C-alpha cells in the first residue's frame, strides 16, 4: 500500500513562529516584570523597547511564506501591545511655538568644534540653553560665542545654563550622593570640578521658573555583569529627591539622563515630571548616537507648564543630537 504524505493544515503550520509571536507580545506587555537583578536586563529591554516592533514584519513574512494561519493570528498580540505602548508617538502632537523655547545638548567632551556647536545652538533661537559634558578647555569657547545672545549664564562643573532672561539662586545638585530623606543642594562656592547637575531660577514675565540641568552617570554593557547602571540610577534617585523638594510649582529638567523614560529606574522622576516628547513631540525624537539615533536619552521633562512642541535639532560636532521644546503657561 502506498501512503501519500499529507501537509499540515494552516492552523498547524509554523507553530514555532506562532510561539515566537506570542512570546514577543508577552515580552513587551510584561516588560516591567523582567527582573533587573539579572544583569540589569529589565532596564536594557526597556531602553530599546520600541525597536522590538521590528520583529513583527519579520515574523509576518515567515507566517505568509509558510501560509500559517496560526502564526499570522498570533501576531495580533505584539501588534496591539506595540501600538498601545508607542502608537501615540507616531503622529505630530505639537500645537504652537510656545512662550519659551528651551534646548538641551550634551556637547561632547571630544567635540572637535565647540565654536561651531555654540553658533548652531545660538541660531536655534532658544531662550534657555542647557549644556552638558563641558570641559574646562571648551567652556571658554561657549562663553565667548554665546555671550551676545545669552547675557546670563552659569557653569558648575561639567554642566551649564545660558539664558536670555536673568538667572538667580544657582546651585549644584549632588547626584553622586547616597540618597537620604532629602536630596542635598550645595552653594556654588562648594561645587566640585566634576559636578554633574545644577538648579537655577529663570526670571520670566510670567513668574519664576525652576530649571534643572543634569548629566547622569554613564551606563555600560559588560559580558561579566550585564547592563551596569549603578551611577546613573543613584543620580536619578537623588535628582528625583531634589525635584520633590523643589518649592517652585513650575519646573523644567533638561539633560542627558543616559536613559529613556521607559526605563523603570526613572519612575521617581517621571511620576513627578512630564516628558515633552510624549506630550507634544513628532515621532520618537531619538537623540543618540548622532550618526544613527536609536534611543532618546536626552530629555526635557516639565511640571507646572504646558509643552507645546518638541523636536530634535540637526547634528553638531557632538555624538548626541540637541533636543528642543516649546513651553507655555
**Over residues 232-242, mean pLDDT:** 97
pLDDT at position 222 is 84
The answer on pLDDT for 182 being more than 50 is: no
Q: Report whether CATH 3.30.420.40 matches the domain 100-328.
A: no
**Over residues 170-181, mean pLDDT:** 74
Give me the chain's average pLDDT, please. 92
Tens-place pLDDT, residues 265-296: 999 999 999 999 999 999 999 999 999 999 99
Q: How far is CA 270 from the centre of its chain?
A: 11
Cis peptide before 289 (omega within 30 of 0): yes
**Over residues 185-196, mean pLDDT:** 58
What confidence category does residue 115 fall into, taking pLDDT thresholds of 50, 70 and 90? Answer: very high
Listed in sequence order, the residues at least 6 apart from 325 whose beta carbon sits closer than 8 Å to its beta carbon are: 98, 101, 102, 276, 280, 300, 302, 307, 308, 309, 310, 311
Tens-place pLDDT, residues 201-218: 999 999 999 999 999 999
Listed in sequence order, the residues at least 6 apart from 273 whose beta carbon sits closer than 8 Å to its beta carbon are: 243, 251, 253, 301, 302, 303
Report how far residue 307's alpha carbon sits from residue 297's, in angstroms, rounded to the nearest whole number: 18
What confidence category does residue 190 fall into, taking pLDDT thresholds of 50, 70 and 90? Answer: very low
- Sheet with 167-173, side-by-side order of all strands: 185-187, 167-173, 197-204, 207-215, 251-256, 298-303, 274-275
The answer on pLDDT for 328 being more than 80 is: yes
What confidence category does residue 221 fall into, taking pLDDT thresholds of 50, 70 and 90? Answer: confident
Check if the beta carbon of residue 237 is closer than 8 Å to that of residue 268.
yes
The answer on pLDDT for 11 being more than 70 is: no
Check if the beta carbon of residue 133 is closer than 8 Å to that of residue 108.
yes
Residue the block writes with cell 533636543: 323
Among residues 270, 264, 327, which one has the least CA distance to residue 104? 327
Listed in sequence order, the residues at least 6 apart from 109 whose beta carbon sits closer than 8 Å to its beta carbon are: 133, 135, 138
Helix ranges, the chain (H): 15-29, 41-47, 55-66, 69-74, 76-86, 114-123, 136-146, 230-244, 267-270, 276-280
Tens-place pLDDT, residues 250-261: 999 999 999 999
Check if the beta carbon of residue 64 is closer than 8 Å to that of residue 120.
no
The answer on pLDDT for 167 being more than 60 is: yes
The answer on pLDDT for 69 being more than 50 is: yes
For the record, the C-alpha cell of 88 comes out as 501615540
Nearest-5° angle of CA 216, CA 303, CA 172? Answer: 40
Report how far residue 261's alpha carbon sits from residue 285's, in angstroms, rounded to the nearest whole number: 12
What confidence category does residue 181 fall into, taking pLDDT thresholds of 50, 70 and 90? Answer: very low
- Global pTM reads 0.90
Domain boundaries, the chain: 15-89, 100-328
Amino acid at each position: 500500500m502506498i501512503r501519500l504524505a499529507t501537509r499540515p493544515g494552516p492552523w498547524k503550520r509554523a507553530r514555532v513562529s506562532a510561539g515566537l509571536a506570542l512570546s514577543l507580545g508577552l515580552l513587551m506587555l510584561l516588560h516591567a516584570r523582567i527582573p533587573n537583578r539579572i544583569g540589569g536586563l529589565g532596564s536594557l529591554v526597556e531602553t530599546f523597547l520600541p525597536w522590538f516592533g521590528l520583529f513583527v514584519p519579520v515574523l509576518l513574512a515567515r507566517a505568509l511564506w509558510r501560509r500559517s494561519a496560526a502564526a499570522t493570528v498570533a501576531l495580533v498580540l505584539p501588534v496591539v501591545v506595540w501600538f498601545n505602548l508607542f502608537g501615540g508617538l507616531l503622529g505630530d502632537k505639537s500645537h504652537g511655538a510656545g512662550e519659551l523655547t528651551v534646548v538641551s545638548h550634551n556637547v561632547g567632551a571630544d567635540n572637535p568644534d565647540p565654536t561651531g556647536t555654540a553658533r548652531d545652538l545660538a541660531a536655534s533661537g532658544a531662550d534657555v540653553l542647557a549644556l552638558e559634558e563641558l570641559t574646562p578647555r571648551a567652556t571658554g569657547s561657549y562663553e565667548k560665542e554665546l555671550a551676545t545672545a545669552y547675557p546670563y549664564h552659569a557653569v558648575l562643573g561639567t554642566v551649564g545654563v545660558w539664558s536670555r532672561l536673568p538667572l538667580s539662586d544657582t546651585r549644584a545638585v549632588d547626584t553622586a550622593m547616597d540618597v537620604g530623606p532629602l536630596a542635598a543642594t550645595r552653594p556654588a562656592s562648594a561645587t566640585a570640578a566634576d559636578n554633574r547637575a545644577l538648579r537655577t531660577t529663570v526670571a520670566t514675565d510670567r513668574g519664576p521658573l525652576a530649571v534643572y540641568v543634569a548629566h547622569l552617570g554613564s551606563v555600560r554593557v559588560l559580558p561579566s555583569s550585564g547592563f551596569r547602571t549603578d551611577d546613573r540610577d543613584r543620580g536619578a534617585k537623588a535628582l528625583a529627591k531634589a525635584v520633590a523638594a523643589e518649592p517652585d510649582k513650575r519646573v523644567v529638567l533638561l539633560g542627558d539622563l543616559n536613559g529613556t523614560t521607559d526605563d523603570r529606574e526613572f519612575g521617581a522622576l517621571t511620576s513627578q515630571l512630564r516628558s515633552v516628547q510624549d506630550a507634544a513631540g513628532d515621532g520618537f525624537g531619538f537623540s543618540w548616537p548622532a550618526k544613527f539615533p536609536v534611543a532618546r536619552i536626552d530629555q526635557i521633562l516639565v511640571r507646572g507648564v504646558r509643552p507645546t512642541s518638541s523636536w530634535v535639532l540637526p547634528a553638531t560636532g557632538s555624538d548626541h543630537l540637541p533636543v528642543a521644546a516649546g513651553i507655555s503657561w
